[in-house]
Amino acid sequence: MRIAVIGLGKLGSPLAAVLASAGHTVVGVDRNADTVRLLSAGAAPVQEPGLQHLLHASGGQWKLTATTNCADAVRSSDITLVCVPTPSGQDGLFTHDLLLQAVREVGDALRGASSYHVLGVVSTVLPGTTAGSLKSALEDSSQRQAGDDLGLCYTPAFVALGSVVHDLQNPDFILIGEASQDARAGDILDHVYRSLCANRPPVRRMAAVNAEITKLSINTYVTTRISYANMLADLCERLPGADVDVVTEAIGLDARIGAGYLKAAVGYGGPCFPRDNLALSALAHSLGARADIADATDRVNRYQLDRVLARVREHAAPGATVGILGLTYKPDTPVVDDSFGIALAQRLAACGYRLLVSDPLGLEAAAAVLGSQAQPVSLASCAAAADVLVIATPWAEYARLHHDLLRRSGRRCVVLDCWRVLPRQSLCEVADVVYLGLGASAQGVGGVGSF
Both 189 and 271 in one domain: the answer is: no
Both 359 and 246 in one domain: the answer is: yes
Where does a domain end: 180, 201, 222?
201
Both 12 and 91 in one domain: the answer is: yes
Task: Flag whether 28 is in a domain.
Answer: yes
pTM attached to this predicted model? 0.92
Closest CA to 93 of 192, 203, 262, 212: 212
Both 261 and 369 in one domain: the answer is: yes
Task: Flag whether 42 is in a domain.
Answer: yes
Angle at 97 between CA 94 and CA 101, to 5 degrees: 140
Closest CA to 174 of 209, 146, 199: 199
Look at residue 227 and tell me whether its pLDDT is greater than 90. Answer: yes
Q: Give the pLDDT score at 30.
A: 97
Distance of CA 113 to the CA centre of its chain: 38
Over the stretch 290-331, which tens digit does the pLDDT of each residue have?
999 999 999 999 999 999 999 999 999 999 999 999 999 999
Look at residue 444 and tell me whether its pLDDT is greater than 70. Answer: no
Confidence of residue 60 (pLDDT cuts 50, 70, 90): low
CATH code assigned at 178: 3.40.50.720
Task: Flag whether 229 is in a domain.
Answer: no
In whole numbers, what is the pLDDT of the chain averaged over residues? 94
Q: Give the pLDDT score at 314.
A: 95
Domain residues for the domain of 410 are 234-442
Task: Flag whether 340 is in a domain.
Answer: yes
Look at residue 447 and tell me whether its pLDDT is greater than 70. Answer: no
Distances (CA, A) of 345 to 179, 240, 272, 308: 45, 29, 21, 11
Q: Give the pLDDT score at 415.
A: 96
Q: Give the pLDDT score at 149.
A: 87
Q: Give the pLDDT score at 451.
A: 34
Both 186 and 296 in one domain: the answer is: no
Task: Flag whether 281 is in a domain.
Answer: yes
Both 192 and 247 in one domain: the answer is: no
Both 286 and 192 in one domain: the answer is: no
Both 145 and 248 in one domain: the answer is: no
Task: Flag whether 27 is in a domain.
Answer: yes
Q: Give the pLDDT score at 450.
A: 39
Look at residue 170 and tell me whether its pLDDT is greater than 80. Answer: yes
Both 8 and 140 in one domain: the answer is: yes
Which contacts qualify for 409-412: CB closer than 8 Å, 24 or more apart?
411/387
Mean pLDDT of 116-123: 97
Mean pLDDT of 117-135: 97
- % of the chain beyond a pLDDT of 70: 97
Distances (CA, A) of 426 to 120, 291, 295, 399: 51, 44, 39, 10
Over the stretch 394-440, which tens digit does the pLDDT of each residue have?
999 999 998 889 988 878 999 999 999 998 777 888 899 999 999 98
Confidence of residue 173 (pLDDT cuts 50, 70, 90): very high
Mean pLDDT of 169-192: 94
User: Which residue did the predictor score with more confidence, 445 or 30?
Assistant: 30
What angle, 0 to 180 degrees and rounded to 10, lies between the N-to-C axes of helices 273-286 and 208-237? 120
Task: Flag whether 218 is in a domain.
Answer: no
Where does a domain end: 201, 223, 244?
201
Where does a domain end: 158, 183, 201?
201
Look at residue 449 and tell me whether its pLDDT is greater than 60. Answer: no
Task: Flag whether 392 is in a domain.
Answer: yes
Both 190 and 315 in one domain: the answer is: no
Both 194 and 317 in one domain: the answer is: no
Number of compact structural domains in the chain:
2
Both 197 and 278 in one domain: the answer is: no
